[in-house]
């Protein structure tokens, strides 16, 4: 075969690389008492627990978080200010349950209404905010807007019928969607998130008995600082909670619990589990060789491959983390090669939580094009393989 006609035959090689980590004594995963649950670690982006997390369920007052999000967005965009005073409609005043005891003569500020929603779970306050932001001035119009905004944020299992979470046909959210919503409130609006840690609010001293924040974790000294409880007969007792310990923040959602006492105990248990049963570990080191790839017509026969970025993961402290990494690249690589060339991808999956990450794979050395002797030797090996029926240049390349 003339050297000028020698061509590179490429194939995609996939290698499964098992990352070995010490395995502690056998332990079982977390078993929640909640009918549905979702636990999310902010720093790593890992979902630590998901139980019926994508099933749309009645969210009760936890869906007020969507009303608050849209209020915060309006504040950021200048459509509202904290000092803006809003009218109270007869419809808003008509709500029972947990309220600020507003009447149609009141003109509460947006800040008072936010506190009324966050701290005392005011159904009337939620409706006042919703009607102010509604395109047609009605709560129904605001509910449609809530659903549209939820879809834009990736909350695909949420549909809203009202601003307060009052029981209604079709009003539903999944635990994962509530987690997405909570994370956005925390990360996008730190200037308003502080309201969630306040423990008392009594609008014009109208309801001293209803002035306390119902979040059972506030004040326990475990870093809890939000967000919202919920309860209806159909939904049971639920909580969207978040806590910060050290440099780690965990947000969780639980629903379907039988009592406020069980809700409080389960919430504290989840916080303890999330912070105590996971440790951050480097599972992929940037720049460390993990394989060698054959080089076609290069001055060297192979070149080292390494992750272009490192990967840190939260791993279970007492379970086999079940980490599997898959390296994918096209082989052989063609010379010339420069150090740092992106030639493939490393896909890492942590089996216990299902978390996965992908990073580019790069070459760790320069490989110039080989001289005439390299081309002649390669061509001769290829011809010999074709004549004898043995491996050709491409077929003989090792698979990594």
Instruction: Quickly list DSSP for 77-136.
Output: HTS--TT-B----HHHHT--SS-----TT---BHHHHHHHHHTT--HHHHHHHHHHH-TT
* pTM to 2 decimal places: 0.82
Instruction: Report the C-alpha gap between 109 and 181 in whole angstroms.
Output: 24
Q: Where are the beta strands (DSSP E) in the chain?
A: 11-18, 36-41, 47-51, 224-232, 236-245, 248-257, 278-284, 291-296, 302-307, 311-316, 323-331, 333-334, 342-350, 355-363
Instruction: Report the C-alpha gap between 177 and 255 in whole angstroms.
Output: 13
Instruction: Report the C-alpha gap between 289 and 303 in whole angstroms.
Output: 10
pLDDT digits (tens, 9 = 90+) for 359-378: 999 999 999 986 666 565 65
Instruction: Report the C-alpha gap between 17 and 346 in whole angstroms.
Output: 10
228: left (phi over 0), alpha (psi -120 to 50) or beta: beta
Instruction: Report the C-alpha gap between 113 and 396 in whole angstroms.
Output: 72
Confidence (pLDDT) at 381? 58
| 90 CA to centre of own chain | 40
Confidence (pLDDT) at 188? 97
3-state helix, strand, coil in the chain (%, to 5): 30, 30, 40
Q: Which CATH architecture has domain 36-276?
A: 3-Layer(aba) Sandwich (3.40)
* Domains in the chain: boundaries: 3-23+282-388, 36-276
Residues in the chain with pLDDT < 50? 1-11, 16-28, 394-400
| 326 CA to centre of own chain | 23
Bridge partners of 51, per DSSP, are: 37
Instruction: Report the C-alpha gap between 171 and 160 in whole angstroms.
Output: 5
Confidence (pLDDT) at 8? 36
Q: Cis omega before residue 372 (within 30°)?
A: no
Confidence (pLDDT) at 9? 38
Cβ–Cβ < 8 Å for 237, 247: no
From the candidate CATH numbers 1.10.620.20, 2.60.410.10, 3.90.1640.10, 3.60.20.10, the one assigned to the domain spanning 3-23+282-388: 2.60.410.10
Domain 3-23+282-388 and domain 36-276 have a common topology: no
Would you give the DSSP letter of residue 262? H
């Amino acid at each position: 075969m003339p050297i000028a006609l020698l061509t590179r035959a490429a194939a995609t090689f996939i290698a499964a690389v098992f990352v070995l980590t010490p395995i502690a004594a056998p332990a079982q995963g977390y078993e929640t008492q909640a009918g549905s649950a979702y636990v999310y670690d902010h720093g790593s982006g890992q979902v630590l627990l998901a139980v019926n997390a994508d099933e749309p369920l009645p969210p009760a007052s936890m869906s007020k978080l969507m009303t608050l999000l849209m209020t915060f967005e309006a504040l950021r965009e200048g459509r509202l200010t904290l000092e803006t005073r809003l009218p109270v409609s007869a419809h808003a005043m008509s709500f029972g349950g947990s309220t600020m005891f507003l009447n149609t003569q009141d003109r509460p500020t947006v800040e008072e209404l936010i506190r009324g929603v966050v701290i005392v779970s005011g159904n009337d306050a939620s409706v006042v905010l919703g009607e102010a932001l509604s395109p047609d001035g009605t709560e129904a119009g605001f509910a449609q807007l809530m659903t549209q905004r939820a879809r834009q944020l990736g909350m695909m299992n949420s549909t809203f019928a009202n601003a307060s979470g009052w029981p209604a046909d079709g009003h539903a959210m999944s635990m994962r969607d509530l987690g997405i919503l909570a994370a956005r409130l925390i990360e996008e609006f730190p200037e308003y998130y502080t309201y969630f840690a306040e423990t008392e609010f009594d609008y014009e001293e109208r309801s001293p008995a209803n002035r306390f924040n119902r979040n059972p974790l506030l004040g326990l000294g475990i870093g809890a600082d939000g967000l919202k409880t919920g309860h209806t007969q159909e939904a049971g007792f639920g909580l969207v909670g978040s806590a910060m310990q050290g440099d780690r923040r965990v947000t969780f959602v639980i629903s379907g619990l039988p009592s406020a006492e069980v809700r409080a105990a389960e919430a504290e248990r989840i916080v303890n589990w999330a912070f105590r049963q996971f440790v951050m570990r480097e599972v992929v080191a940037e720049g460390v060789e993990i394989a060698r790839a054959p080089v076609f017509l290069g001055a060297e026969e192979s070149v080292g491959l390494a992750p272009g970025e490192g990967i840190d993961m939260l791993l279970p402290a007492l379970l086999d983390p079940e980490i599997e990494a898959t390296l994918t690249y096209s082989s052989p690589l063609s010379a010339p090669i420069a150090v740092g060339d992106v030639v493939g991808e490393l896909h890492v999956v942590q089996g216990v939580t299902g978390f996965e990450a992908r990073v580019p794979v790069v070459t760790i050395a320069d490989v110039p094009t080989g001289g005439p002797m390299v081309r002649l030797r390669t061509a001769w090996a290829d011809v010999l393989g074709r004549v004898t029926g043995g491996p050709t240049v491409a077929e003989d390349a090792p698979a990594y």
